[in-house]
Structure 1
Amino acid sequence: MDIVNELPEPIPTYLAAHRAHDADAALRCLTEDAVVVDDGHTHRGPDQIRVWLGRAASEYTYTTELVGSRRLDDGRYEAVHHLEGDFPGGVVDLRFRFTLRDGRIAQLVIEP
């Protein structure tokens, strides 16, 4: 079973761009009014999200593996990533909860 192929576009495309630290490709997957919530902070729109993506890419060194995914309801999906790296604690499983609208990501909430 291929976990990534179980997720609708644009989620796999966004996840690949996020892993590759490609902010332009990641932003193309989002709506213009997208919201990202990560580590207790809310980032709204492409300008704030671009800054967040850049900071997230440079703050720590880590590996990430998609270990699970599921459909929550008609427009919401969850992808679980296992991270290991030089961040506090060194190991964490993060839930990426996506809300889709019109074929793009309107909201992403990342939390343990």
Structure 2
Amino acid sequence: MTAQPITPADLPGTVTRYLQAHLVRDTATAISAFTPDATVTDDGRTYEGRAAIERWLDRAASEYTYTTEQIAAERADAEHYIVTNHLEGDFPGGVVDLRYRFALRDGLIERLDIAP
């Protein structure tokens, strides 16, 4: 699956809603972007279902202080998008570019994989 660069404005509303909510640590809005049976994989751990994802979002919001800048957006197909964010903060290493790989189903996020 070859992804094509797109502008952030061309991302699906669900992806944009999640990213904006996560940026301002609005867990309720962020979790509303996921299907009930969604999975998130971050830092080698997988979280299944909205309750587990909500706990992950709450922990991620309080564990470190960091800034986020979106540096790229790509579309693989109508259901698969990749957003690259540049993070700087007080986490181990202090700087990282993370790729957020979104898989959508019925207009919501079914799977999110986050990795460098």
Same fold (TM over 0.5): yes
TM-score, normalised to structure 1's length? 0.95
Aligned to 2:56: 52
Aligned to 2:72: 68
**Sequence identity percentage:** 52
1:37 pairs, out of 27, 37, 41, with 41
CA distance in 2, matches of 1:63, 1:73: 29
Count of matched residue pairs: 111
CA distance in 2, matches of 1:24, 1:77: 22
- More off after superposition, 59-68 vs 69-78: 69-78
1:105 pairs, out of 92, 106, 109, with 109
CA distance in 2, matches of 1:20, 1:60: 14
CA distance in 2, matches of 1:3, 1:73: 15
Deviation at 1:85, TM superposition (A): 0.4
Q: Which runs of 4+ in 1 moved over 3 A?
A: none
2:32 pairs, out of 25, 28, 39, with 28
Q: What's the C-alpha RMSD, in Å, of the aligned pairs?
A: 1.1
CA distance in 2, matches of 1:104, 1:50: 15
Deviation at 1:8, TM superposition (A): 1.1
CA distance in 2, matches of 1:100, 1:84: 28
Cα displacement string for residues 2-60 of structure 1 (whole angstroms, at most 9, x for unaligned residues): 83212112000000011111111011111010100000000011110011001100111
